[in-house]
Each structure stands twice: as structure tokens, then as C-alpha cells.
Chains A and B, each alone.
Chain A
Amino acid sequence: MSISTEGLDIKGKVIFSTGNIMSMSDITKKPSQNSTEELVEAIKFTLKNQKTKSNEFITDHLQMGSKGEEIQLKMQEIGFDDLKIGLKVFLINDNPALLEEALSQALQKQLNVPKVFDVIISFKNHSLDEAANQEPNLLDKSEFDNLNQIKPIWKCLETYVSKKIVGELGIADIEESTFKELYEWATIKPSIVQINLETCCVVPPGLQSFCKEKEVKLYTHNDSSVILPDKLVEEMFGNTLELQWAVRFTIHIKCRGVLTTKGYCICMDTKAK
């Protein structure tokens, strides 16, 4: 499991991009069961195959991994209008600045696109996660159980929709009642609610009928509650760093069920004391 980041004395902020994992044959040969496994494999693959010289200091952070050239080339080949690009942002707190950073990394640096079809947010408070370790019944508790925590993030997302940078908004793993509150409160209503694949056969009827009534898309995901646990960050990048955000981009060819591109950008920074 241990990965050598040879010669790299990683301190301070790092943004790491995997590039398109759909074209990594090592990953295709070992299909992952969940996103964490997939992300870890992709990071390892990228670390193994990219020369350290491609790392670059940009203003305040170290940029590692793919610069997105291959992805951008592929999009050009297929044609932007035929693509449906979606983002999912994994956040650890309600600081909109981190959300903005994640979106800008994906939109401008990796993909270099003026707009995406949708953005789904997933919010995981790490301190809560640790609490859950001690008290397992907390695990069942969805993280989005408090509208006040969502509000600053959602407000920020809404500005992207008004600027026509993002088409639709979605949210993952949210309590039914909180989702309804969000729906009532929000100026730009959520179009998507994402639930864990494990629960796709036992969707709460209330949520089901609410979604039907409001024409909200009830999608599944197969993401662990913490996309990249501290332990794995430590193993791959050293013990001074912790995850700030992660963003996954998926690019589909419209109406053909073809997934051409999938990748992650993650941001890590020195652990808060």
C-alpha cells in the first residue's frame, strides 16, 4: 500500500489530479468496488507514471499529477456540444472558499470548459466521522442533517448557476426532511438527490414521492462516506497533510450511454493544529 513520493518533501498545500482513469489500463484490469478504492489506485498509478518534474509550484500550492491535456484533447475530438459533463464535490466543511477552489480547479485547470451540466455536493465533517468511530450508531446519521450548514455552500453554488457556469445542482446523502427544507429554502432548487447504491432498493417512500412530485432526479452513487480517509492520505502523501476537498468529473457522450472520461482532483493541506 505504501507509496513512495520519492524526493518529495511535501509541505503545505498540494493539489493532485489523476487525469482520465478510463484510459488507465491497470485500473480497467482491476475494476474497483467503490470510489475510494478507485481513487487510491488512480493516485498510485499517476504517481508511478508521472515524472516528479511535472510537479509545479503555482502561487500558493504544489500542483501534482495530470494537467488535463489528454482530457481536453478528447473533448475537442468528440465535440463539446455532444458531451455531458458532471462534477461531484466532496467537502469537509461549509467554507465556500474551498468549494470555489475545487470548482475552479476542475473547470479551469483540468477540463478547461466554460460550463458543466451539473454539480453534486457531498459534505462530510471529519470530526463527526471520528465521533462515529466511538459511537457507531452515529454512522447511520446523514451528514447533511442541518440546513444551516448547507446554506453557505448552496448560496455559493447558486451564483454558478446564475452565471450559467453550472446547469443543475444536486446534493448527496441528505436526510429526507433536510432535503425538503433545502428545496423550500433554495432559490435554485436542487434537481438531483444522490443516495448510496446500497439503499437503492429501499428508498424511503417519502423521499421517493417528493422527488416524483418535484421532478427531482433520484440518483445512486457508490462513494464511501469519506472519499479519502486520513489514513490513506497519510500512507500516500505523508502524515503532515489532510484532505481539504475532492472533486470528481465525469464526461458522458449525450444519449449514447458512453462514459469517456472520469477523474479526480484532490486538495490536501497541512493539518490544522
Chain B
Amino acid sequence: MGLLTEGTPLTWEETKKLAEHVREHGIIQFINLYKRLKERKGDVLKWGDEIEYIIIKFDDENKKARVSLRGEEILNVLNQEEQNHPDTVKCLWRPEFAAYMIEGTPGQPYGGTLAHFNVVESNMKLRKQEATELLKDKEYLMSLTSFPRLGCPDFTDPPTKATPNEGGTKSLFFPDGAVFGGHPRFMNLVRNIRKRRGEHVAINLPIFRDKNTKIPVDDSHTIRKAALPDCVYLDAMGFGMGCCCLQLTFQACNIDEARTLYDQLTPLCPIMLAFTAASPVHRGFLTDVDCRWNVISGSVDCRTEEERGLKPLKENKFVINKSRYDSIDSYLSTQGAKYNDIAVLYNEEDYKKLRDNGIDHLLAQHVAHLFIRDTVSLFSEKIYQNDEEDTDHFENIQSTNWQTMRFKPPPPHSTIGWRVEFRPCEVQVTDFENAAIVCFVVLLTRVILSYQLNFLIPISKVDENMRNAQKRNACKEQKFWFRKDITTDVSPPEANRCCAGSNCQPKECDMVGFMTVNDIVNGKHGDFPGLIPLISSYLNGMDVDADTHCTIQQYLKFIQKRASGEVLTTAAFIRKFVMEHPNYNHDSVVSEIINYDLLTTLKDISDGNKSCPELLGYSVTTKTKENVPQALKNDF
């Protein structure tokens, strides 16, 4: 969730009064930083991954698995190491929303040579090891997208209780005690989002209907009017922000390359979401979705009834179509401009101020659009700032626009350049899978830049893909809009005309096809070359050391197999496990014992104590190593 500002949080009423102040100064801060840094160029490739983990505690006696709320305790020790050796530390650790979560990243970013790909998995292992050393008996660190029985009775260790009528969350299911208490930001966000919205957040996930599934799912709908009877109802930020994900950040050589990568990776977001699907179970029920995305989106949806179009606009300025956690609304590169086919809301005066200061239309509209969101977290120490130097108000809004992609300006006074963050992926259980996905995406960025590929499709189609990507078994069964001709040749004039408009029908616009994840990843004869063949071809022109290439080959083979359906997605594996469990009653309920057995199995797979060809295939052993070999250190 970004860097945490220390300090004293303001109440919602105080924060609300300062919303205009933050907006005004945030925009000015962006203008100033843009003027300072727009010409910055010559930055090399640096990149890194972020993985969020859940601490699980196994109760072998009672056959229960719970989340352990010791994140803060463990972080304090982990961060000590960073404080003592900031330059040599191998892993960095940050707090996350939930008290049972921690976030880990490599100590230093990876660099521009391919040998770094061979360090990724090793570093992930090291992270797990570092944190695991601090765990107690029966505690276990897992990179698990969602804890299946989150919000069920007795899901935490030590025990906590939901308090529907008091506290910050006021959830029927999610206790305040499960929110990370080591920093006020998190509970402050919970409270402010709920207060801004004017009611509880509400997520209704359609239940997976098995032969004995009971409808209504439970009695939530009798207590809360927002709850739908045939859905799994969730009413707290923790259900979303308490999920884990896998994110990637790349440094671009200059602002234009960052804009290009931001755009080119956008159509890949839904594809990678479907590919990494890992969260079919929520609050103890099998649902009909495979991904966390909409859960998080709903969990931080601070829009008022007016903004959601349920009431005529009186207090608010806009009806806003999406939550502040959602897919992006506009492309940023000139190449992308003609595919911006959905409304991009912004305050005219913000946009005008940005334009008057020499910022082009696409970037001005992007920044102004971020600022349609009010601040939901403000600290008293940070209200009055030097807009020439500080960027906190800009970052305040930027870091609470949780979108599929994030366009990141260089931080003040640093050697870091323009960056792009890729945010859709669900985290996988094994380091092997996570490393494979990370390397695959980073390789794709290199392939895009080398061949100057063009993946752009109308952004409305990316949104359509996002919806379909989350459906049950989407990786295998759904078809997605994807660009067929990805070379940068000038496309036929009719296609250009058609695709510039919003009523672009596929038959008129031949450049966009309907493809499965398999078609996109592995290629479709005569129609699409496939991302993996493109990567292999790129690698043939690169200097790759043997060990790294061996490792990359294992990763790419795995990606190919998962895309083709030869191995299961994590979500499909979890579904299958639940449905084949002897205690499963075909009622969509994931009971304590099923949860315990599932997590025990996932733990054993993650440890490497249990092979799981149906999830991983047969070759999961790589040549990953802790450091880049000496001979390759001076490589370009």
C-alpha cells in the first residue's frame, strides 16, 4: 500500500473539510514535479516484485487453521535488520492492511541484465525463510491470495470478535482486531471510507451453486439491506484489503517509455488476472468467481449514493462509474489516445491548471481524473506543505487510487526514475509460480520494447475483459478481446476509423479478435503469434547465461502449461480440492476441516514436501541462485 506517512490521523470530519486543500495542492505538487522531472532520461531498467503473505496458525488438535495476528510483532524484528544494514539487507518488509499480513520485496531492485531473472526465486525463498525464522511453532507464512474462512467465527489467533455496533469496521464478520494496529493509517482508512460512503461497504459474490447449496446463503440479508440472498455478503474493507497479491514495478528510461509501458501492459491486466486466479473461496463459501479483484474493489468503494447514481446529485459533483480500486480509465501514450473510448471524469479547473502548465491532454486528464477521489486518510503533520519540494498531497491521492496499472513519477530527491506498476496478479502458493509470473511479465515488457509491439484495444474492451477474467474457470473457458495484429505497422484506414469510435464491433474492426488465454499465451495458428513464442524469439537474440536460460525455460514451460489448461490455476485446484474432500457436503460450504486440510496441503506444496503436477507440472526445479555470478556482474 505504499510508504506509510507517520503521524496523527485526522477524524473524518476534519479530513473532509481539507479535501479541497489536498486536491488543490496535490495538483500543484504534480505540476512542480513534472516540470522538474519531465526531461529526466537515460534511466536503466530496474524492477522488483512485491509479495504479500499471510501468517497461518495450524491447530492440529482441533483440525483448524486460523490467521495469526502477529504481523506487527514479526515486522518489528524484520525491520530492525533493515535499519541496521540498509544497504546490504536482502529483503525489505512492510506492514499491510491486516494484522495477519506482511509484505516483502527484494532488498535491492533487480537490474537490466537477464541474469537477474535467476535471482528472483531465490530471493523469494529467502524472504519466506527470513520471516519463517521468527514464527512460532505451528505458524506458517503463506503467499495465499485469500484466507478461505476469512470472517468466519473463530478465524483468528488469538481470538477476536466482530463488533457490528462499535469500533471502526462495524462488520458482522470482520473484527477490528484483525486490522493491522501498528499504524493508524489502516483503521483510519476503514473508518473514513465507510463514513464517506455513508454506509457499510457491500460486496455480494454469487455463490457457487452445488446440488445441496442453500439459498439464502445465510441470514445476512435479514440484517443488512445491501446483502443479496443468493450471494456471499461481505461488509468490511478487510475482506478485500486483507487479500494478498503479487505486484511488479519497472523503471522506464524516460517518461515516454513509462507511458508506453503503462498503455501496453493495460490490455494484459485482465489476461494475467485470469491466468493467476487464486481466490474462489470467501468467508467459508465456494463462490462463482475465481479472483479477488472485485472483492477489493467493493471493499474500498467510498462512493456516496449520489456518486453511485442511486440518488440525484446534490452534495457531490459526479456520478462515478468505478470504485477507487478498479481498472484504469485512460491510456497515456499518443498511440493509446485513439483507444480512449470511455468517459474520463475530472474537475475542469484541475485539468485546466495542468494544461496551463504545459502538461499535455492525456497526462493532464489522467492526473485530473485521479483527483476526482477525495482524500480518505490525512495526518495532522502533513497538512501544510512546501509545494515546490513535497509531494505528499499528490501521493495521498495517487496511492489511494488502486488501479490495475499505476503511473509513478520519480520520488523527490532520489535517483529513481519514472516507473510503472503492474497490479492485477493474484499471488500464487509457490515461489516457483510467483517467480515464473514475475519473469514472464518483465520479459514481456522487454519484448514489447524490442519489437515495438502494440497490444492496444479500446479501453472499454479491457473493462469487459476484466469482468470476464474473474468468472469461474475464466483462464480455461473465457474468451477475451485481444489485438490480433500486434506489429506496429499502420493498420488499414477502415480499421483505424472504426476503432477510434466507441461503437466498434468486432466484425468491422478486424484488428481485435476474441481469444482464450491459451491463444494469447501460446499463439493461435494464422491469427496470433503468442506471447511465449515472441519471448523465446527475443531470448534467441539476447546474451543469456546457461543457468538463467535453464531457469527461464522452466518458467516459460509452466506458463505454457497453465495457459493451455494442462495444469490447473490455483483457483481451479482449490475448487477441486474442496469438492473432492470427503467432508464436503456439496453445499458450497468450506468447513473448518476442509479449510485445515486445504491449507495443510498448500503448505506442503509450497514447502516442496509434496509434489503437485496438476498445479505445477513436473519440472519445477530451477537453477535459481542467491546472487548474479561474478562474470556477469559487469554485463550490460
The reply to whether the CB of A200 lies closer than 8 angstroms to some CB of chain B is yes
Q: How far is the CA of A215 from the CA of B623 in the complex (A)?
A: 18
Give CA–CA (A271, B111) in the complex, Å. Answer: 48
- The reply on A127 being an interface residue by CB < 8 A is no
Kindly state the separation between the CA atoms of A253 and B487 in the bound complex, as whole angstroms: 20
Is B79 on the interface with A (CB-CB < 8 A)?
no
Alpha-carbon separation in the docked complex, A123 to B595 (Å): 60
Contact residues of B between 248 and 293, Cβ < 8 Å to A: 253
User: Are A32 and B537 interface neighbours, CB within 8 A?
Assistant: yes
Tell whether A44 is near chain B: CB-to-CB under 8 Å.
Answer: no
CB of B630 closer than 8 Å to a CB of A = yes
A162 on the interface (CB 8 Å rule)? no
Query: Which residues does chain B contribute within 8 Å of A253, judged by CB atoms?
Result: 253
Taking residues whose C-beta sits less than 8 angstroms from the other chain, chain B's interface range is: 35 or more
Complex Cα distance, B488 from A208, in Å, reads: 41
In the complex where A200-B550, A201-B553, A211-B631 touch, is A259 in contact with B541 (Cβ < 8 A)? yes
Q: Please give, as numbers and ranges, the residues of chain B lying within 8 Å of A137 by CB-CB distance.
A: none
B543 is an interface residue with CB less than 8 A from chain A: yes
B112, A219: Cβ atoms closer than 8 Å: no
Any B CB within 8 A of the CB of A61: no
Contact with B along A33-73 (1 / 0, CB 8 A): 11100100000000000000000000000000000000000
B44 within 8 A of partner (CB): yes
A257 with B446: CB separation less than 8 A: yes
Which one of A34, A35, A84, A201 lies within 8 Å of B636 (CB-CB)? Answer: A84
Asked whether A31 and B533 contact (CB < 8 A) given A200-B553, A256-B112, A259-B450, the answer is yes
Collect the chain A residues with CB atoms within 8 Å of residue B529's CB: 28-31
B538 at the interface (CB under 8 A from A): yes
Interface bits B516-559 vs A (CB < 8 Å: 1, else 0): 00000000000001100110111111111111011001000000
Bound complex: CA of A56 vs CA of B344, how far in Å? 56
Residue A262 interfacial (CB < 8 Å): yes
A255-B111, A258-B449, A259-B450 known; A218 vs B546 contact (CB < 8 Å):
yes
**Complex Cα–Cα for A30 and B534 (A):** 8
Q: Are B541 and A250 in contact (CB under 8 A)?
A: yes
A29, B623: Cα distance in complex, Å: 31
B5 within 8 Å of A (CB atoms):
no
Which of B315-338 touch A at CB < 8 Å? none
Q: A219-B543, A252-B636 are in contact. Are A22 and B451 (CB under 8 A)?
A: yes
The answer to whether A220 touches B450 (Cβ under 8 A) is no
With A25-B487, A215-B630 known as contacts, the answer to whether A258 contacts B446 (CB < 8 A) is yes
With A28-B487, A31-B537 as contacts: A255 and B112 at CB distance below 8 Å? yes
Would you list which residues of chain B between 599 and 619 have a CB under 8 Å from chain A?
A: none
Cβ of A19 < 8 Å from any Cβ of B?
no
Bound: A33/B537 CA distance, A: 7
| Beta-carbon contact of B543 and A201 below 8 Å | no
Instruction: Say if the beta carbon of B358 comes within 8 Å of chain A.
Output: no
**Closest chain B CB from A16 CB (angstroms):** 19
Answer yes or no: B153 CB below 8 A from chain A CBs.
no
Interface membership of A216, Cβ < 8 A: yes
Q: Once the chains are docked, how many angstroms separate the CA of A220 from the CA of B304?
A: 58
| B489 surroundings in chain A (CB, below 8 A) | 25
Interface residues of B in 110-144 (CB under 8 A from A): 111-114
Bound complex: CA A254 to CA B111 (Å): 11
Give B305 Cβ to nearest chain A Cβ, in Å.
Answer: 48
The 0/1 profile, CB within 8 Å of A marked 1, for residues 425-458 of chain B is 0000000000000000000001001111100000
Q: Does A260 contact B (CB under 8 A)?
A: yes
> Which residues of the partner chain B approach A208 to less than 8 Å between Cβ atoms?
546
- The answer on a CB contact under 8 Å between B451 and A28 is yes
Contacting pair A200 B546 (CB below 8 A): yes
Task: Count residues on chain A whose CB falls below 8 Å from chain B CBs.
Answer: 44
Please state if B451 and A201 are interface contacts (CB–CB under 8 Å). no
Q: In the complex the two chains form, is B549's CB within 8 Å of A197's CB?
A: yes
Minimal Cβ-Cβ distance residue in B for A219: B543
Interface residues of B in 28-57 (CB under 8 A from A): 42, 44-45
Q: B549–A200 contact, CB under 8 A?
A: yes
Give the most central of A32, A208, A255: most B CB within 10 Å: A255
Contacts A201-B553, A219-B545, A220-B545; A257 near B540 (Cβ below 8 A)? no
User: Smallest Cβ distance from B519 to chain A, in angstroms?
Assistant: 14
Let me know if B112 and A257 touch, CB within 8 A. yes
Q: Is B629 an interface residue (CB 8 A)?
A: yes
Bound-state CA distance A194–B193 (Å) is: 58
Contacts of B450 in A (CB 8 A): 22, 258-260
Cα A252 to Cα B112 with chains together (Å): 11
Residue of B nearest to A254 (CB): B636
Contact A219 B546, beta carbon cutoff 8 Å:
yes
Given the complex of chains A and B, what is the CA–CA distance between A211 and B629 in angstroms?
Answer: 11
Does the CB pair A86–B543 fall under 8 Å? Answer: yes
* Interface status of A164 (Cβ within 8 A of chain B): no
B632 contacts the other chain (CB 8 A): yes
B513 CB to nearest A CB, Å: 13
A220 touches B544 (CB 8 A): yes
Contact A257 B550 (CB under 8 A): no
Q: How far is the CB of A83 from chain B (nearest CB, A)?
A: 9
Residues of A within 8 A of B549 (CB): 197, 200, 220
What's the Cα separation between A252 and B539 when bound, in Å? Answer: 12
Question: Across the interface, do B540 and A255 meet the contact criterion of CB distance under 8 Å?
Answer: no
Residues of chain B lying within 8 A (CB to CB) of residue A22? 450-451, 541
Q: How far is the CA of A257 from the CA of B488 in the complex (A)?
A: 20
Give the residue of A203, A255, A259 whose beta carbon is less than 8 angstroms from that of B45: A255
Question: What is the CA–CA distance of A256 and B42 in the complex, to the nearest angstrom?
Answer: 10
Q: When the two chains form their complex, are residues A217 and B537 in contact, meaning their CB atoms are under 8 A apart? A: no
| Chain A positions 230 through 273: 1 when the CB is less than 8 Å from some CB of chain B, otherwise 0 | 00000000000000000000101111111110100000000000
Inside 8 A of B544's CB, which chain A residues have their CB? 219-220
List A contacts of B542 (CB < 8 A). Answer: 250, 252, 257, 259
Given A28-B529, A31-B536, A86-B543, A212–B45 Cβ distance below 8 Å? Answer: no
A4 CB contacts on chain B under 8 angstroms: none
Q: Does any Cβ of B come within 8 Å of A15's Cβ?
A: no
As a 0/1 sequence over residues 204 to 231 of chain A, the CB contacts with chain B under 8 angstroms (1 = contact) are 0000100110011111111000000000
CB distance from A269 to the nearest CB of B (A): 28
5 new A-B contacts, CB < 8 A, other than A82-B42, A222-B539, A255-B44, are: A28-B487, A216-B631, A219-B546, A256-B112, A257-B112
29 contacts between A and B (CB under 8 A): A22-B541, A25-B487, A28-B487, A28-B534, A30-B529, A31-B533, A32-B537, A33-B536, A35-B540, A38-B537, A197-B549, A197-B553, A200-B553, A203-B547, A208-B546, A215-B630, A215-B631, A218-B545, A218-B631, A219-B545, A220-B544, A220-B546, A252-B636, A254-B44, A255-B111, A256-B449, A258-B446, A258-B449, A260-B450
When A and B form their complex, which 7 residue pairs have the shortest distance between CB atoms, in order from nearest? A25-B487, A255-B44, A31-B537, A255-B112, A254-B636, A31-B533, A215-B631
Which B residues fall within an 8 A CB radius of A?
42, 44-45, 111-114, 253, 446, 449-453, 485-489, 529-530, 533-534, 536-547, 549-550, 553, 623, 629-632, 635-636
